[in-house]
Each structure stands twice: as C-alpha cells, then as structure tokens.
Amino acid sequence: MAEDMYPSANMHANLSERFLAVRQRSREIAEPLSGEDCCVQSMPDASPIKWHLAHTTWFFETFILEPHERNFKPFHPAFRVLFNSYYNGVGDKHPRPQRGLLTRPPLADVLAYRRHVDERMSMLLTDGGAREKIAALLEVGLHHEQQHQELMLTDVKHMLSMNPLDPAYLPATWKPGRPAPEMRWQRFEAGVVEIGHQGNGFCFDNELPRHRQFVEGFAIASRLVTNGEYRAFIESGGYAQPSLWLSEGWDWVRANDLCQPIYWRRDGDAWQEFTLQGLQPLDPHRPVTHISFFEADAYARWAGARLPTEAEWEHASQGCADFGGTALHPDACDTCSEDGQALSQLFGCGWQWTLSSYAPYPGYRAADGAIGEYNGKFMSNQYVLRGSSCATPQGHARPSYRNFFPATARWQFTGIRLAKSL
C-alpha cells in the first residue's frame, strides 16, 4: 500500500478508543447467536462467525503484535495457520471450505483470544513510539474488521436461510416502507473527471492513485430499483428471455434453474422475503437486494438502460453527503426528492453493481510484503460495486470505496442503480 494512503497517527488522538469500539462491535454482532450458529459454514464463499471473530484478531496479532511486540509469543501456535485467510506470504492456510469443521477451538476460546489480543494491543498503544509506527497498519486492521462485520451479517443470513425453520437473527421490527418517489434521470456532461481517493482520510490501496478519466455524457438514476419494479421484471418473463442476459449469465440461470432473487419465496400469488428478521412479506417499496451482477445487468437491459461505470458513479456521487446508517435490511427511499440531493440511496442501503471490472487504477502499486495481498491479487473476473449497504458499519463508507464480487454473487446486500448514455 502506498505510504500516503494512511493518515498520520496524530490525527487519531483516540486511536485506542476507536480500536476498542470497533472490536466491541464484532462481539455485538455475534451476541444474538449461539455457539452452534457461530460455528457452521453454509457455503465455501461464506465463513463461520467464529472464524470471522478469530481471523480479525489474527490480523492484529500477525501484522502488528508479531513485528512490534517485545517478546512476542502467539496466543496459540496453530492459530497462525487456522485463521490465515489468504495471505500466502504468511504461510500455510487452513482450507477455506473446511472452516466450518473447526468445532475446536470453541467459541469461548475464540472470545478469550480476542480479549487477550485486545489487551496486548491496548498495552502496545500506550507506547507512543510504537503507536506511531503501527498507526497505518492499525487503520487497515480496523477497516479490515469492519469489512468482516458486514460479512458476518451476510454470512449468517445465508446460513439461516438454508434452515427450513426460517429462523430470525433478531426479532422482527418491521414496518412497511412508504412508496418510493418516481425515479428521475440525473444528467452529466462529457468531460475529464478525477476519481480515486483524495484527502487525508483512510482509504484502501485499490482506491489510489487518484487519476483522470474521460467520461462521455451520461444520466444516472436518482434512486435504486425497488422490489416492486423488479417483480414486474420477473412477471414479464425476465428470467426466461435469453436476449436480456449476458451469455454467461444465461448459462448460469439455466444451470441453476433460477427464476427470482435468492431470498425471495413465492407463495401462490404473494411473495415473501427471507430477512435477518425471518420471513417477511415482500415490501414493494424497498430496494431490491441480494441481486447478482448478471441479474442487475439483465434488469437494466429490460428497463432500456444499463449499469453505470465506476467513474460515472463516483463522479455523480460527489457532493452527496448522506452516508446512511446501519440496519438489518435496506430501507425504502422516502426522502430523495425532498432533501435537495440529486441522488438518494447512495450509501447505507444496497451496494450498487457497476459495469466496471475490478482492475488496478493507472499507477496502482500494492504494498510490499504479505499485506500487499490485501486487494491487488483479486483484480480479475470480479465487478466493482459502489456505495455501501445497510450492513456497512458507520465510518466505513466513502465515495471512492471499491467493493468487488464475482458476477454471480448474491448473498451480499447488493442492488441496482440504472444509468444511460446520452
């Protein structure tokens, strides 16, 4: 990661407090879950909650305590392998599809591991010299943990959805949304724009360097596509019409007999949606979520539009200040026409697929060492998503943020914002 991507330590008088707050939040997410809930892995793409709790701790132990703590001794020697996600530079890794077989260490031991590392980190942070040295990596570690906090919610949701009992993560506090305002097209002229992170705040290496792109004239939708709109796509035969789909997407639809979003359940003429609060009637006003790139792309074609590129999205989002809040499900849009903001639901609602494949920015350089494996090595066959979702932690979203997933990924809070060439 480029040196300049991390703010200097003195910007964070309360680095220690922020560290503890972020760490605390992960435990809170696990709070409503049993040891059993935290242990199981429902698919290779998802990880058990317990593994998330341990791996985020491993990150601090491996990348900060090990090089910086005097007389470093690992909490448990086997954890270096067990909780390494994908850092070849650190050494061996427990196979990803077998993360759910780790009934030992039990959840209690992982929580003890967390406490132990938190105490050692707090101790280290009392040392000003060390604090300065580790500040940049600590920021990475905190944002890394925040990324996992979002994954914890989406992974546990997928796991619960596989259970015929339709169990809820938390009791339902569900209110029907108000009707969404009409979708408007916000227009932008052609020209050279700058994208990529700027300023002193934190960002990941993949958001750098800030650079120029030429964007032809385009229009972008004022809000996300709703469940009701997506339902019309389904009911007009959207999943049965090959001309709406990319070839690879069509093969995927056929091979998996897909006819609706992953968490939708048809109940005669009515629709329900599995949520973190259990099975709920489908709310037509809320944004459609848990949509793959292929579905988003097909919907856009059906709607006579297309997805935006990431440069278009980032350019259009400039000056939009609302960074949303966390929730267990995307909220309906009831403010966008009134709050004077051109675009609503940019953040805090659902990640928005772009047409842009995940690729390095011109001049991109990964950091040296194992930490350099954080982002760069995943830059193939994935699509960039922009914005943030209802499950994104506070303080983790920004306009230059580049999330990325394969074109078939459906278990994230992902939605659709349309665009058009002018």
Site string for a second copy, 302-321 (x = CB under 8 A): ----x--x------------
Choose between 14 and 214: whose C-beta lies nearer to a second copy.
214
CA distance 25 to 145: 9
Applying CB under 8 A, the site for a second copy has a residue count of: 69
380 scored as a contact of a second copy (CB under 8 A): yes
Indicate the length of the chain as a whole number.
422
Which segment (136-144, 274-282, 341-349, 356-364) binds a second copy by CB under 8 A? 356-364
8 scored as a contact of a second copy (CB under 8 A): no
Choose between 59 and 218: whose C-beta lies nearer to a second copy.
218
Peptide bond preceding 209 in cis form (omega within 30 of 0): yes
Calculate ∠ Cα 158-161-164, nearest 5°: 150
Helix H or strand E segment including 405: strand 403-405
Find out whether 113 and 76 touch, Cβ atoms under 8 Å.
Answer: yes
Which segment (11-19, 92-100, 263-271, 333-341) binds a second copy by CB under 8 A? 92-100
CB of 359 to a second copy, least distance (A): 6
Helices (H) and strands (E) in the chain, counts: 11, 12
Which segment (51-59, 161-169, 321-329, 393-401) binds a second copy by CB under 8 A? 161-169
Which segment (100-108, 144-152, 178-186, 397-405) binds a second copy by CB under 8 A? 100-108
CA distance 415 to 348: 11
Phi, psi (rounded to 5 degrees) for 296: -60, -45
Of residues 162-181, which lie at the interface with a second copy (CB under 8 A)?
A: 162-165, 167
For residue 306, what are the β-bridge partners?
419
Which segment (15-23, 225-233, 352-360, 386-394) binds a second copy by CB under 8 A? 352-360
Among 237, 325, 363, 394, binds a second copy (CB under 8 A): 363
3-state secondary structure of 315: helix
Q: What is the DSSP string of 372-384?
A: GGSSGGG-SS-EE
Choose between 107 and 343: whose C-beta lies nearer to a second copy.
107
Helix H or strand E segment including 278: strand 278-281
98 scored as a contact of a second copy (CB under 8 A): yes
Question: What is the side-by-side order of every strand in the sheet holding 270-275?
Answer: 264-267, 270-275, 278-281
Give the type of residue at 254: R
3-state secondary structure of 23: helix
CB of 421 to a second copy, least distance (A): 4
279 scored as a contact of a second copy (CB under 8 A): no
Choose between 86 and 123: whose C-beta lies nearer to a second copy.
86
Strand 218-221 to 419-421 pairing: antiparallel
Site string for a second copy, 28-57 (x = CB under 8 A): ------xxxxxxx-x---------------
CB of 210 to a second copy, least distance (A): 11
Among 135, 136, 183, 355, binds a second copy (CB under 8 A): 355
Burial zone of 248 (CB within 10 Å; 0-12 exposed, 13-18 middle, 19+ buried):
exposed
Find out whether 222 and 184 touch, Cβ atoms under 8 Å.
Answer: yes
Which segment (122-130, 230-238, 279-287, 355-363) binds a second copy by CB under 8 A? 355-363
3-state secondary structure of 187: strand
213 scored as a contact of a second copy (CB under 8 A): yes
> Among candidates 271, 263, 273, which has minimal Cα distance to 295?
263
Of residues 128-157, which lie at the interface with a second copy (CB under 8 A)?
A: none
Q: Which residues in this chain contact a second copy in the complex, by CB under 8 A?
A: 34-40, 42, 78, 81-82, 86, 88-89, 94, 98, 100-107, 159-160, 162-165, 167, 190, 192, 211-216, 218, 242-243, 245-250, 293-294, 297, 306, 309, 355-357, 359-360, 362-363, 372-373, 377-381, 407, 421
